[in-house]
Amino acid sequence: MTDTLTLAKAINLGLQKALADDQKVLLMGEDIATLGGVFRVTEGLVSEFGRNRVIDTPLAESAIVGTAIGLAMRGYRPVCEIQFDGFIFPGFDQITSQLAKLTYRHEGSARFPIVIRVPYGGHIGAVEHHQESPEAYFAHTPGLRVVSPATPQDGYWMIQQAIQSNDPVMFFEPKSRYWQKGEVDRETPPGAFQASRVVRTGTEVTLVGHGAMVSVLLQAADIAAAEGTSIEVIDLRSLSPIDYAPIIASVQKTGRLVVAQEAPGHASVGSEIASTVAERAFYSLEAPVLRVSGFDTPFPPAKLEGIYLPDADRILEAVDRALAY
């Protein structure tokens, strides 16, 4: 069965299937039951599964995560929604000091299958604390899986794979793509959710990104193709662990790499990829690995987000610099 769905609806249906398949799965978050979430990703689920499994919580992210940890210890598989990216920091201590370390602390004898859904990123014209990209904090933290779907197909399947995982999973949803439509095959499961994927083949430059940035990279590749430049695009999908095999293979072919992200560039996922590729594919590189990112400032007022966030022009400028070497 193939449907054309928005990313938000695809995640909704993925959550619906996970709830139906396993009675131990439950959803927790602010306004996710009655309202269906700010972005309506959980809309309709409370009427189907009831308030004991789709739970409106207090406005307390630390309590949401802490309660989920307790539930996981009793055999449940909680899925927590953090309403906006910038709201995650009140729960940061519970996630990084407790959740990420508990399985290791128990020498593997205890599992904590908790998914934390985080709508993240810009392009929605919102105010401070509503358009941030904090994924590097969690990718830096051992004990957490960090993933980000870029398409409705991945949204549908990756949320189910995250829920089925026995490890804690940070599930970063690019909220600017919630309304982007794409085909979803609900019968054929994809491969592992930590695998990177080549989404466009090319021969001259490799572009790598995740989440909302993948669409921007594909736009840049289309413009470059019209100008005679062949670009390969890779969707990371997983930020921790990172599947480097497709990236290294691509760089060995193209000799050039540009990494793009909405988050600030300093000490970021893009920094890690640039460093690792320089270590593993140094003799294949024809130019330095280049990074395109948000600026190293707090996220600006909404009217300035178009300057702050990388667009196709900034990516193509980096492509031109890479080709000039």
pLDDT tens digit sequence for 64-75: 999 999 999 999
For the chain, what is the domain count?
A: 2
pLDDT at 1 over 90: no
The confidence band for 121, taking pLDDT boundaries of 50, 70 and 90, is: very high
pLDDT at 270 over 80: yes
Domain identity same for 242 and 290: yes
Domain identity same for 149 and 60: yes
Whether 58 is in a domain gets the answer yes
The confidence band for 240, taking pLDDT boundaries of 50, 70 and 90, is: very high
pLDDT for position 72: 97
Domain identity same for 132 and 212: no
Whether 118 is in a domain gets the answer yes
- Residues 210-230 have pLDDT tens digits of 999 999 999 999 999 999 999
For residue 168, the domain's CATH number is 3.40.50.970
Whether 192 is in a domain gets the answer no
Final residue of a structural domain among 157, 185, 213: 185
Domain identity same for 52 and 161: yes
Domain identity same for 204 and 177: no
**Nearest CA-CA partner of 176 in 215, 202, 136, 147:** 215
Tokens describing residue 139: 């990718």
Q: Across residues 121-132, what is the average pLDDT? A: 88
Question: Which residues are known to be catalytic?
Answer: 130
Q: What is the mean pLDDT of the chain?
A: 96
- Residues 37-92 have pLDDT tens digits of 999 999 999 999 999 999 999 999 999 999 999 999 999 999 999 999 999 999 99
The residue range of the domain holding 93 is 2-185
Domain identity same for 108 and 51: yes
Q: Is 37 helix (H, G, I), strand (E, B) or coil?
A: coil
Domain identity same for 204 and 176: no
The whole-angstrom separation of Cα 220 and Cα 183 is 22
Domain identity same for 146 and 217: no
Domain identity same for 136 and 202: no
Number of neighbours of residue 260 by Cβ within 10 angstroms: 24
